[in-house]
């Protein structure tokens, strides 16, 4: 794999830390800015909203830009956004800075996925996407716990200054190792690109992503109370157990990418089935400490095994029109799935049947994604060459 892929992974690492590190700093932020913990939690929702709304719009606006130039500009936005977070004097300015930073998120992963697939042979495209997303998994394993510890020891603003330095380093390696564009990027009519996103197979592919990942976050959002209230672990054991989840992320990401290179459509269907099975069995597994730890790792593996195939799935559905836009829309779909899953898990806990039932209800979401993916495949069956390119 070329060094440019690891430069993209460095950018993905920084963005991943920014997205999730706030979860470990809610108490510090709420105390410092004089807001409730619930209000501080909205900083996560605000970021997700920035990704969902900003990713497709910014991608369309910059569709004529050379991709390397765009990636550098996005990392500059990311770096400036984190510096603004560190300097934010009020809750409102911190929310605005978070949403500014989120603008870079979806477009970076969307355009970065297209760049990554262009750096390798056709039979390695999904693996290339997996390498880039490894930066996100490493951020989950190492970056977020480290950032939370820095914030707890030295103040939450120091965490954002640290991520600002990560952004500068990522910008430098992208500038050094990502090659210049050898062809004109998608300089077509952005209206035509948006119309291509409105094709039924593309919309069904995006819905597959939303449903599949909603199942993951319906459980992962509430993994701490599942481990403490159901499995019986002490609160101090949650962070070490989450390292097992992170290890599963890396394994699942790389395996999912390798399998999707060989057989894309079967990998999409197979990864969704495995994810549903793991979620369903977690209902029973979390009642025993040993099996709970094992299934936390399996959840990580099955969750990220879906990422490279789902990303490639939507790129295939988009065809030749607006690949960067399609890729960015799919990143937005992942974030929409995160929000939907977290909301559904909260409803189950607050209104019944309760925390112990979250996992099996979450399993229904990737199961619901299966017929949607099948319809997407059927809708393309009349177009010459499409089925062959996805199976």
Q: What is the pLDDT of residues 215-267, one digit of tens each?
A: 988 888 788 788 888 888 887 787 788 788 888 888 888 888 888 888 888 88
In this predicted structure, the answer to whether residue 282 has a pLDDT above a threshold of 50 is: yes
* 3-class secondary structure, 182: coil
Asked whether 352 and 87 are in contact (CB, 8 A), the reply is: no
Same CATH topology for 1-186 and 188-391: the answer is yes
Percent above pLDDT 90 for the chain: 22
Q: Residue 185: what pLDDT?
A: 52
* CATH number assigned to the domain covering 1-186: 1.20.1250.20
Backbone angles phi, psi at 128, to 5 degrees: -65, -45
Place of tokens 């209800």: 361
Could you give the dihedral angle defined by the CA atoms of residues 255, 113, 10 and 156, in that order, rounded to the nearest 10 degrees? -100
In this predicted structure, the answer to whether residue 172 has a pLDDT above a threshold of 50 is: yes
For the chain, give percent helix, strand, coil, nearest 5. Answer: 85, 0, 15
User: How many Å apart are CA 118 and CA 309, to the nearest integer?
Assistant: 16
Tokens read off for 68: 């390397």
Confidence of residue 320 (pLDDT cuts 50, 70, 90): low
User: How many Å apart are CA 172 and CA 76, to the nearest integer?
Assistant: 10
pTM above 0.75, yes or no: no
Confidence of residue 362 (pLDDT cuts 50, 70, 90): very high
Give the up-direction half-sphere exposure of residue 229: CA atoms within 13 A in the CB hemisphere: 11
In this predicted structure, the answer to whether residue 388 has a pLDDT above a threshold of 50 is: no
Q: Residue 368: what pLDDT?
A: 93
Asked whether 146 and 344 are in contact (CB, 8 A), the reply is: no
Q: Where are the domains of the chain?
A: 1-186, 188-391
Pick the CATH number of 188-391 from 4.10.490.10, 1.20.1250.20, 3.30.70.600, 3.40.50.300: 1.20.1250.20
User: How many Å apart are CA 108 and CA 130, to the nearest integer?
Assistant: 15
User: How many Å apart are CA 80 and CA 331, to the nearest integer?
Assistant: 22
Average pLDDT on 344-373 reads 88
DSSP designation for 288: S
Average pLDDT on 315-326 reads 68
Task: Tally Cβ neighbours within 10 Å of residue 148.
Answer: 22
Asked whether 371 and 208 are in contact (CB, 8 A), the reply is: no
């Amino acid at each position: 794999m070329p060094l440019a892929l690891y430069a993209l992974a460095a950018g993905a690492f920084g963005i991943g830390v920014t997205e999730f590190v706030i979860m470990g700093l809610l108490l510090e932020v709420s105390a410092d800015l004089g807001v409730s913990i619930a209000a501080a939690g909205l900083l996560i929702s605000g970021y997700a909203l920035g990704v969902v709304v900003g990713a497709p719009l910014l991608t369309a606006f910059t569709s004529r830009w050379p991709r390397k130039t765009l990636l550098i500009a996005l990392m500059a936005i990311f770096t400036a956004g984190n510096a603004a977070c560190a300097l934010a004097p009020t809750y409102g300015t911190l929310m605005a800075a978070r949403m500014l930073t989120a603008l870079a998120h979806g477009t970076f992963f969307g355009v970065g996925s297209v760049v990554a697939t262009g750096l390798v042979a056709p039979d390695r495209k999904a693996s290339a996407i997996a390498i880039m997303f490894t930066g996100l998994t490493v951020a989950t394993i190492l970056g977020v716990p480290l950032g939370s510890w820095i914030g707890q020891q030295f103040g939450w603003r120091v965490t954002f200054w640290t991520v600002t330095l990560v952004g500068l380093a990522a910008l430098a390696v992208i500038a050094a190792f990502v090659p210049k564009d050898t062809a004109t990027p998608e300089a077509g009519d952005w209206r035509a690109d948006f119309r291509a996103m409105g094709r039924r197979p593309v919309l069904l592919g995006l819905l597959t992503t939303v449903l599949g990942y909603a199942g993951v976050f319906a459980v992962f959002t509430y993994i701490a109370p599942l481990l403490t209230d159901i499995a019986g672990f002490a609160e101090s054991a949650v962070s070490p157990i989450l390292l097992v989840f992170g290890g599963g992320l890396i394994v699942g990401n790389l395996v999912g990418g390798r399998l999707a290179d060989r057989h894309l459509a079967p990998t999409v269907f197979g990864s969704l089935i495995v994810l549903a099975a793991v979620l369903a069995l977690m209902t029973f597994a979390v009642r025993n400490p040993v099996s709970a730890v094992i299934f936390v790792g399996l959840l990580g593996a099955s969750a990220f095994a879906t990422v490279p195939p789902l990303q490639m799935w939507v790129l295939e559905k988009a065809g030749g029109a607006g690949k960067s836009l399609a890729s960015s829309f799919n990143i937005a779909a992942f974030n929409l799935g995160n929000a939907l899953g977290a909301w559904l898990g909260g409803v189950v806990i607050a209104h019944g049947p309760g925390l112990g039932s979250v996992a099996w209800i979450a399993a229904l979401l990737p199961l619901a994604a299966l017929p949607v993916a099948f319809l997407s495949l059927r809708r393309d069956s009349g177009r010459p060459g499409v089925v062959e390119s996805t199976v």
